[in-house]
Copies of this chain bind each other. A is one copy, B any other.
Amino acid sequence: MPEIKINLSEKDIPRQWYNLAADLPTPMPPPLGPDGNPITPSMLSKVFPDNLIEQEVSTKRWIDIPEEIIDILYRWRPAPLRRAVYLERFLKTPARIYYKDESVSPAGSHKPNTAVPQAWYNKQFGIKKLITETGAGQWGSALAFSCNLIGLECKVYMVRISFDQKPLRKIMMQTWGATCVASPSNQTNSGREILKKMPNTPGSLGIAISEAVEEAVSDTSGKTRYALGSVLNHVLLHQTIMGLETKKQLKSINELEPDIVIGCVGGGSNFAGLAFPYVCDKIHGAKIQIIPVEPTACPTLTRGPFAYDHGDVAGLTPLLAMHTLGHNFIPEPIHAGGLRYHGMAPLVSHAAVEGLLEPRAYGQLKCYESAIIWAKTEGTICAPETSHAIACAIEEAHRAREEGKEKVILFSYSGHGLMDLTGYDKYLSGQLTDYAISDAELEKGLESIKDFPKPKISKQVK
C-alpha cells in the first residue's frame, strides 16, 4: 500500500510566499485609473491598507510571512498532500495522482490562506473593520472566520439569490460573529439605485462588490477597509503556500516533480496558489504542463481576449489587464459559484499570454460525473469548483494509460462540497444541464470594453 497521506511537519511550513511577478518574462501592464493613466499605489489607499498595497505592487520574489500569521495558519496547516490511490486503481492508470487537500481548513476551502493575512495586515495598520462581498459564501465565511480570530469587525454583502437559497454559509458567517446582508441592500447608494430600478433582482457579484467598496471608502473614521478574495496579486501571493508546501511534501517521499499541475480557476487564486511555484520552474526550463480549468459557462481564459477591463460591474475598480468576458457579462447560474467571474487574475492572465498555461473549459455535467466517481473511489464529497480539477485529472490519467506513461499528476482539492449538496441532488436526479456561451453572448459581453485602451506586453525581456 503506497503512502496515501503525506503530512508535513509544522516546523517545515514555508516562511515566505512566492511572488510570480518577479519571474514573469515580461512586465505586467499597469492597472489604469479613470483618466487612462497608470494608477499610483496611493490611489488605492482608501480601499486597502498600505502594507497590502505594498505587496500588491511588489516584484520581490520572496516575501516573508510574519510569525504571527504562521501561528494562526498552524491551526490547520501544513495541509495534507494526499495520493488518490483508489481513483488510480479505478481508472487502471499508470499515473500517480496527488492532490493538495485544502478542504481541511475550518472554513472548508483554501480561502483562509489569504483571509488570515489580509485580516492581520489590516489589524496591523490600525483598521477596525473589513467589508467584503461574497457569492456562494466560501470567501465570506473565510473572512468572517479570520476577522473573528484576529479581532476585526466583519461585514459581508452576499448576493441576494445565494443569501436566500444557500443559507448555510450565511449561518457560518454569523456564528463567527460577522454581519451578513443580502445585496443589493438599502445600506448603500449603489444598492438603493439598483433596488429602485430592479426591486426583485437576484443580485450579482458585481453589485455586491460595488456596495462593499462604497461602504468601505465612505467610512469617515478611516478605520474601515475593503477585502477581496481572489484576482489581486497579493491574494494570489498568499495562496502560494499551497504549492510551496506541496513541493516539500513530494520531495519528502522522493517523488518526482509533477508532469501535470491542475487547478480550477474562477478569479484565479486557488489555481495560482498551487501552480505558481511550478510556473516558476517552467519559466526556468522545466518540462511541465500547467492546466487551469474553467467552466464552459464562463470561459474567461479559453474564449475571452486579454484586454483592459474593470473588476466589477459598476466600474468602480481600476482597469486591469486580464482575460475577460466583459464586466457586463453575467454567467449562467452553474453550481460552481466560485468560478462565475467575468475576469481572471492579471497574474494568471499574463502567464497565459506568455504561453505558460494550457487552459481548458468543461461543462458542469462532466464535472459532476467526475465528482461522483471521486466520491465513490476516494470517499469524499468535493466542492463543485473542485470537480473541474478532478475532471481534468481523470482525463489526464486516461491519457497516461493510453500512452502507457507513468506520469505524476498533481491537482488542487480546493474545498469540500458539504455546503453545496443541492448541486449533487440536482445532478443525481437529472435536473442539471450544461451551459456554454454562444458567440453572440461573447460579443455582447465584450461590447462593454471596446472603447478601453488595449494592454501592450513589451516583448523586451526584463
Contacts and interface: CB of A to CB of B under 8 A. Distances in A.
Contacts of A145: 379
Contact of A425 (B75, B171, B372): B171
A: contact size bracket? 35 or more
A148 interface: yes
Given A418-B108, A418-B419, A148 B4 contact: no
A5 interface: yes
Contacts of A54: none
Nearest to A421: B171
Interface string A169-183: 001101111000000
Contacts of A10: 5
B425 A174 contact: yes
B379 A149 contact: yes
B376 A168 contact: no
A10 B428 CA distance: 36
Q: By CB atoms of chain B within 10 A, which of A145, A379, A381, A421 has the most?
A: A379
A375 interface: yes
A175 B149 CA distance: 34
A162 to B, nearest CB: 14
Q: Which of A376, A380, A421, A425 has the most chain B CB atoms closer than 10 A to its own CB?
A: A421
A174 B371 CA distance: 13
Q: Report which residue of A71, A177, A375, A419 has the largest number of chain B beta carbons within 10 angstroms of its beta carbon.
A: A375
Given A7-B7, A10-B5, A175-B372, A106 B425 contact: no
Interface string A355-386: 00000000000000000100110011100000
Contact of A175 (B104, B177, B428): B428
A172 B381 contact: yes
Interface string A422-449: 1011001000000000000000000000
A372 B177 CA distance: 9
A218 to B, nearest CB: 28
Q: Which of A1, A172, A175, A380 has the most CB of B within 10 A?
A: A175
B106 A168 contact: no
A202 interface: no
A142 to B, nearest CB: 11
A108 B379 CA distance: 12
A168 B376 CA distance: 17
Contacts of A71: 1
A74 interface: yes
Contacts of A167: 421-422, 425
Given A1-B71, A108-B418, A175 B380 contact: no
Nearest to A417: B175
Interface string A82-122: 00000000000000000000001010100000000000000
A381 B421 contact: no
Contact of A379 (B75, B372, B376, B380): B75
A177 B5 CA distance: 25
Given A5-B10, A71-B1, A175 B418 contact: no
A376 B418 contact: no
B177 A376 contact: yes
